[in-house]
Structure formats: structure tokens, C-alpha cells
């Protein structure tokens, strides 16, 4: 009797698991060659379930709580074992503790770009990245289909498979949205919801719940991003003509920052002249708006006299003889008007300049004051 008591004392009488890791999904209880004592205590903490496996068959699943292992709460195992040696006999069974808490911050990404047809940009290659969260939902299925006889099953052992499933499904979801590529960033929440709904049944078939899927970034080729940036700049400026002005200004800036010398300066000056002309035309500003003769008017014919005329203390002109003839006929140009041209030493009255005398031949002199 003393020998039996000694043997019974060596049997395991407390079955529990204290998880000090952050990546263990399932842990097989180590018996160290000891059998579990009939009447032993099974301690299942919150966030855990315990799965009993006997000779490869699922026997029982225990939820959180403290359980006494007897035939009353082990009916399936009792049937499998038969208890042919008596109800007080020890038994051997593999016990797997499964963590039912959420495992978050698991990363996923598309294994390659997804081809999308965009109305504005044509065929576009897009990628997506994000994180997801899982937890064990059906411990029995999970242990049978995934854990097997693994003593410690971690997220690393299934992570690649799960992230691959999400990465493939996102390639289907993005084109299905039917929205322009530049609007995908605004639909990341909807994409995450669709992914979770579509992959949920597939994950549950492995005893796992897909708790959440986050789409955190949409990646586009560099040339597509540049095209989007240019379209944004054009929209901000307003029209194509203004966009040309924007490009000209950019060319001037680049030329100014280029220490290459005369070539860069010439490009910058040429771009500046072109931009100035475009701006003048777009604003409808003629040279006449700046006073005097039109800037676009041709210079005087060589050899023709060109006189400047003082009007209200301001210099105007130069005017040729035909223009002065018209002013004289209208009374705006008189014998007393001060004139000057190249070669004259000073301003003189028009009536004293021989070249202008003929302009006043048909113009009557001022009316003398009444007596």
C-alpha cells in the first residue's frame, strides 16, 4: 500500500499553463513521463481553452475555470479509455492549451502588384499593405487541423499562410470597387471590411477568427504618382494655359538653380519672355495700357522726322509728321506746343520749327482778344 501511495504521489495532480509569451497560439502540457492523476485539478484561465486528445482523437474541450478530472466531466474520455482498471486509475492524455486572446499587429501585403483599369490613367499597377488580427475560435478544429503534435504552435508558423491569403484577396477587391486609382486611399476602411467578410469563412475552416483587417497604404508606381501630382497642380491652377505658365515658371526656377552658365541662363530668359507674353495675352493687357504709343507698333520709317511733344508737362511721342498733322487739325497740337527731336539743342515752340511750319498753313491762327 505504501508503494501505491508513493506512485500516486508522483502523478500529475495540477494541469495548468502560464503563458509568458506574446506569440503562442497553442501549448502542449508537458507531463514529464508522469500520468495525470484521477481527480486532478485542471486550471483554465481567461483567454484559454484546454483540449484533451486521446490516441489522436479529440476527447474533451474545457473552457475557463477550475475543473476536477473525473468520469463526470470527462464522459468522452471515459468512454474512450473504458477505465478498465478502475475509476481511481491514472490516465494518459495529451492536453493542449489554446490561447483565445487576440493576436494583433500581424502584417500582410500583396505578393505582387494588382493590375487595375483606370478611366484616366489607363492600366495601373497597384499594391497594398496593412495589418490584421486573429484569435482561436474553435480550439478542437484548430488543434486537429493545424497544431497536430506540435509542442508549441506560434503565430510565425501560420503567419505566412494567412498573410498570403489576404494579399491575394486584396487583388480582387481593389478592381471590384470600380473607383479611380487616386481615390483608393479614401476607401481603405471599406476594403478592410470587404476583406474580412470574404476571408472570414476560410479562416473559420481552420478554427481561427479573422477579427480585423486594416489597409494602411496603397502603393502606386512612381510615374503614376508624378502624373497624379501634375493633375493636382493643373486643377489647382485652373486651366491648361495657366498650367503652361506654371511650367514656364518652373523652367525659370530650374535654370536659376543651375550653375551651368550661359546655356542655363539663356533657357531661363527665353522661358521668362515666353511666359511674359502668355501672361500679357491671357490678361488682355495691350501695350497702350502703359501710356504712349503701342509697344507692338513698328518704329518710325528711317529718314522720317519724329518729334516728342510736351503735354501738361509730360513728354509724349515720338510722333511722325502725319500724326502731328492730325493733332494739329483737331486742335491738340498748336504753334505754341513745345517739341523736340534728336539733334535739337532744346525744346522749342512748334511754330518756330521750319519742318513743322507747313502743318499750320491751313490752320487759322488763334482769334485775337476782343478790344
Higher pLDDT, 37 or 276: 37
Higher pLDDT, 192 or 363: 192
pLDDT, tens only, 163-179: 999 998 998 888 888 88
Q: Tell me the pLDDT band of 254, cut-offs 50, 70 and 90.
A: confident
In a domain, 292, yes or no: no
Phi, psi of 93 (to 5 degrees): -160, 140
Per-residue pLDDT at 200: 94
- Of the residues 42, 77, 99, the one at which a domain ends: 99
Same domain, 108 and 209: yes
pLDDT mean over 319-339 = 80
Same domain, 127 and 234: no
Same domain, 187 and 145: yes
CB neighbours of 42 closer than 8 A, spacing ≥ 6?
A: 15, 16, 50, 62, 66, 67, 68, 69, 95
pLDDT mean over 331-357 = 81
Per-residue pLDDT at 358: 75
With b for 16 or more beta-carbon neighbours within 10 A and e for fewer, the 70-95 pattern comes to: eeeebeebbebbebeeeeeebbebbb
Q: Which of 45-49, 231-235, 315-319 has the highest mean pLDDT?
A: 45-49
Per-residue pLDDT at 140: 92
**What are the grid coordinates assigned to 36, written together?**
495525470
Contacts 24+ apart (CB under 8 A), 274-280: 274/248, 275/245, 275/248, 275/249, 278/241, 278/244, 278/245, 278/248, 279/245
CATH assignment at residue 352 = 3.30.1490
- Of the residues 99, 116, 151, the one at which a domain ends: 99
- Rounded CA gap, 149 and 161, in Å? 19
pLDDT mean over 227-247 = 65
Per-residue pLDDT at 49: 96
User: Does the pLDDT value for residue 262 go beyond 60?
Assistant: no
Same domain, 244 and 204: no
In a domain, 67, yes or no: yes
Lowest-pLDDT choice from 118-132, 133-147, 322-336? 322-336
In a domain, 188, yes or no: yes
Q: Name the strands in the sheet holding 152-154, side by side, starting at the edge strand that comes first in the sequence.
A: 57-62, 48-54, 94-99, 24-28, 152-154
Q: Tell me the pLDDT band of 6, cut-offs 50, 70 and 90.
A: very low
SS3 51: strand
Please name the residue ranges forming H helices in 99-187.
139-142, 156-176
Percent of the chain scoring above 90 in pLDDT: 27
pLDDT mean over 125-144 = 93
User: Does the pLDDT value for residue 296 go beyond 60?
Assistant: no
CATH assignment at residue 163 = 3.30.479.30
Write the DSSP symbol of residue 182: G
In a domain, 367, yes or no: no
Same domain, 215 and 107: yes
pLDDT mean over 22-44 = 82
Same domain, 88 and 34: yes
User: Does the pLDDT value for residue 143 go beyond 80?
Assistant: yes
User: Does the pLDDT value for residue 284 go beyond 70?
Assistant: no
Phi, psi of 296 (to 5 degrees): -85, -5
Same domain, 214 and 107: yes
pLDDT, tens only, 62-93: 999 999 887 666 766 666 665 555 545 566 77
pLDDT, tens only, 195-220: 999 999 999 999 999 999 999 988 88
In a domain, 136, yes or no: yes
In a domain, 192, yes or no: yes
Same domain, 231 and 192: no
Cα angle for residues 238, 242, 243 (degrees, 5° grid)? 90
User: Does the pLDDT value for residue 97 go beyond 70?
Assistant: yes
Same domain, 111 and 200: yes
Same domain, 207 and 248: no
User: Does the pLDDT value for residue 47 go beyond 70?
Assistant: yes
In a domain, 289, yes or no: no
Residue (of 2, 10, 3) closest to 90 by Cα position: 10
Residue 138 belongs to domain spanning: 103-220
Higher pLDDT, 112 or 210: 210
Q: How many domains does the chain have?
A: 4
In a domain, 213, yes or no: yes
Averaged pLDDT of the chain: 77
**What are the grid coordinates assigned to 2, written together?**
505504501
pLDDT, tens only, 114-128: 888 887 778 888 889
Q: Tell me the pLDDT band of 362, cut-offs 50, 70 and 90.
A: low
Q: According to the 3-state scheme, what is the secondary structure of 263-326?
A: HHHHHHHHHHHHHHHHHHHHHCCCHHHHCCCCCCCCCCCCCCCCEEEEECCEEEEEECHHHHHH
Same domain, 109 and 186: yes
> Strand (E) positions, the chain?
12-15, 24-28, 36-44, 48-54, 57-62, 65-68, 94-99, 103-109, 114-118, 122-136, 152-154, 208-219, 307-311, 314-319, 338-340, 348-349
Cα angle for residues 91, 30, 57 (degrees, 5° grid)? 55
Residue count of the chain, please give it.
371
Higher pLDDT, 284 or 304: 304
Same domain, 239 and 344: no
Per-residue pLDDT at 363: 63
β pairing state of 307-311 and 314-319: antiparallel
Write the DSSP symbol of residue 151: S
Amino acid at each position: 500500500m505504501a508503494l501505491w501511495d508513493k506512485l500516486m504521489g508522483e502523478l500529475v495532480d495540477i494541469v495548468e499553463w502560464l503563458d509568458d509569451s506574446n506569440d503562442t497560439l497553442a501549448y502542449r502540457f508537458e507531463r514529464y513521463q508522469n500520468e495525470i492523476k484521477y481527480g486532478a485539478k485542471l486550471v483554465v484561465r481567461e483567454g484559454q481553452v484546454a483540449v484533451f486528445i486521446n490516441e489522436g482523437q479529440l476527447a474533451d474541450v474545457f473552457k475557463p475555470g477550475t475543473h476536477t478530472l473525473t468520469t463526470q466531466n470527462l464522459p468522452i474520455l471515459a468512454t474512450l479509455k473504458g477505465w478498465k482498471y478502475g475509476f481511481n486509475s491514472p490516465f494518459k492524455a495529451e492536453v493542449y492549451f489554446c490561447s483565445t486572446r487576440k493576436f494583433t499587429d500581424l502584417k500582410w501585403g500583396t505578393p505582387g502588384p494588382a493590375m487595375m483599369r483606370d478611366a484616366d490613367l489607363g492600366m495601373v499597377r497597384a499594391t497594398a499593405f496593412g495589418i490584421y488580427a486573429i484569435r482561436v475560435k474553435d480550439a478542437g478544429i484548430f488543434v486537429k487541423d493545424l497544431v497536430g503534435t506540435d509542442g508549441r504552435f506560434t503565430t510565425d508558423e501560420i503567419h505566412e499562410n494567412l498573410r498570403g491569403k489576404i494579399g491575394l484577396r486584396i487583388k480582387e477587391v481593389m478592381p471590384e470597387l470600380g473607383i479611380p486609382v487616386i481615390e483608393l486611399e479614401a476607401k481603405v476602411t471599406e476594403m478592410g471590411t470587404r476583406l474580412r467578410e470574404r476571408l472570414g469563412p476560410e479562416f473559420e475552416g481552420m478554427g481561427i477568427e479573422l477579427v480585423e483587417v486594416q489597409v494602411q497604404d496603397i502603393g502606386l508606381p512612381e510615374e503614376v504618382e508624378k502624373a497624379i501630382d501634375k493633375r493636382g497642380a493643373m486643377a489647382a491652377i485652373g486651366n491648361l494655359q495657366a498650367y503652361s505658365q506654371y511650367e514656364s515658371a518652373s523652367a525659370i526656377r530650374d535654370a536659376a538653380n543651375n550653375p551651368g552658365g550661359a546655356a542655363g541662363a539663356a533657357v531661363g530668359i527665353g522661358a521668362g519672355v515666353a511666359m511674359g507674353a502668355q501672361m500679357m495675352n491671357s490678361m488682355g493687357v495691350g501695350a497702350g495700357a502703359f501710356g504712349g504709343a503701342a509697344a507692338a507698333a513698328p518704329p518710325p520709317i528711317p529718314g522720317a522726322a519724329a518729334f516728342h511733344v510736351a503735354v501738361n508737362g509730360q513728354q509724349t511721342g515720338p510722333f511722325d509728321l502725319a500724326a502731328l498733322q492730325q493733332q494739329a487739325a483737331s486742335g491738340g497740337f498748336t504753334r505754341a506746343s513745345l517739341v523736340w527731336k534728336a539733334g535739337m539743342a532744346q525744346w522749342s515752340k512748334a511754330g518756330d520749327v521750319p519742318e513743322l511750319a507747313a502743318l499750320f498753313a491751313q490752320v487759322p491762327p488763334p482769334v485775337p482778344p476782343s478790344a
